[in-house]
Structure 1
Amino acid sequence: MSYVFQEYAEMGGTYTLYSLDVPSRGDMTLSHQWQNADGEALREVKTEKCGTFHSFEGKAPNVKSVLEKQRAGEF
């Protein structure tokens, strides 16, 4: 299984593209690369080795997120 997500800079038009690979066995790897607004690489791809994924269970938090508060008209 693989997850891809992006983190945008507050200003400047750049972002970091991440890819988290979660194999059925073994350690996860996180690859990331800094890119400009046109998707051109500003640095080489770096890969970090992570630990093995362990499933977990939990309950949803009892606090509304900012988006939920905005939609409910609480702001």
Structure 2
Amino acid sequence: METNQYEELSEVLELTENQKLRLYIYQERQNKNIKQDNKDATQSTEEKREKRQKILDIKDDVTRQNAIAKNIELFN
């Protein structure tokens, strides 16, 4: 939810200052978690891409094919 949605919700529900503070803290925590999840997903994608590239850079065909077979999920 956006900040203004939380503010509207707190007004409609006639929350006390303590409840508003808790709602605000909850909102901040949710936003932080969403940002962290997005960051983790980006890092995970980048790590997979780097690992896939290292495997593809292997010069020996047999070794490269074995590495691809062991890490097939990187190539799907």
TM-score with structure 1 setting the length: 0.19
Q: Which has the higher strand share?
A: 1
TM-score with structure 2 setting the length: 0.19
Higher gyration radius (CA): 2
